[in-house]
Structure 1
Amino acid sequence: MTDQRMRRTVILTSAARLFAEKGFAATTVREIADSVGVLSGSLYHHFPSKEAIVGEVVDSYLSDLLTGYRAVIARDLPPREAVRELVVASAEAIIRHPHATDIYRRERRRVHEGADAQRLGDAADEVKQTWLTVLAQGRAGGAFRGDVPTWIAYRLIRDALFHSSPVSTPDTTDPATALAETFATVVLDGLTRPPRRTAGRTDRRSS
């Protein structure tokens, strides 16, 4: 990695932390520059504006997220397993971009009105469509409940992931997978249709 590329990465990382902590509007270019030890004017050698910085933070996150999603879809998994693996891919992207989901949730309208609005909008649409397709396939095939509208299931999953952060603990070596397992227990098991009872089977609770 070149020195310039390394400097851009440092700026993006520090700016993302500040945006997440203070919000985009309350964070100044000077604060970003001070956080990486450069003059405010020097920051403009790397980015034309503060809006360009937040746009790249979100773009980097969405691009990484979609790389993981496309890899999952390419495996042609059953819907339940596909949902689980999409959660793993989401958690792994959150780990690599720890502040991006918070920024995107809070500044979504702003980034979709910036210079990169078309590209970011297309990426966000692909993320949404990936989930809707997998959920619809599960519903159509009988794996998922038919009384839960697909778009509601997607929004519940999306919002839960936006507010979830994989946490490393002494007994957790893979926080992304740990989050996916918990997610499957809490959310996916509630979405999955319960198995049908075999005809003539006695319900022990009634005996």
Structure 2
Amino acid sequence: MALHHEPLLDELRKLIKPKAFSTNVYYCLEFGKKYPEIIPQIGIGWFSDNLIISHSKIFSNFIGISTNSHSYNFRHHNFLIDNSRKNNKDKLKLSYPDIKHWNIYFHLSTCFNKTSTFEEVKKLLIYTKKASTRERLVLLNRKEYPIPNIASESKEIAFPEIVDSYDDENSGFEFTVPNQFPEKFDYSQYAATLYDSDAEDPSPCENYTILL
């Protein structure tokens, strides 16, 4: 490690807070954006305008959590790994240590990007009980929207349903999704309720350091 990096790293360490995922990610990304030469030492940085790259062991050691906690918190704060061939090819051009074990991540919210402010990041990187999955990404990014059927007498709203299986770490949880769609309806709000279940998370949370 270059000695001239130490003052920067010490300054960044002072901003790291226990159990504050959004704060730690924001400050590390900001320092990495301004001083890209320290990214190999802190284990996280911007890969593009809306993708970040992180090494689980290096970043975990820097902010003081276990490697397993890194993976757990990324998934439960709605990050998914980008395995696209092009991005992985570009990743290998970086002169980072152990480059094959750096992962590229994107956030489920398209609002999270290189220009996001501290307040925006705190609102976007919120801990969710259910981990992010590819199935959830497909559901939340649907371009179609459900048409509710309103019964005139009972005034109850019913959605036409089809049943899709959803496997969050073999939870066996099933959800229903509508099969008819109008032109205008905020499906994201409806989809969000599907994942705000009070059911116990199947992950053994006590084995991880959960950051909020």
- The normalised TM-score by structure 2 is 0.26
Larger Cα-atom Rg: 1
Larger strand percent: 2
Larger helix percent: 1
- The normalised TM-score by structure 1 is 0.27
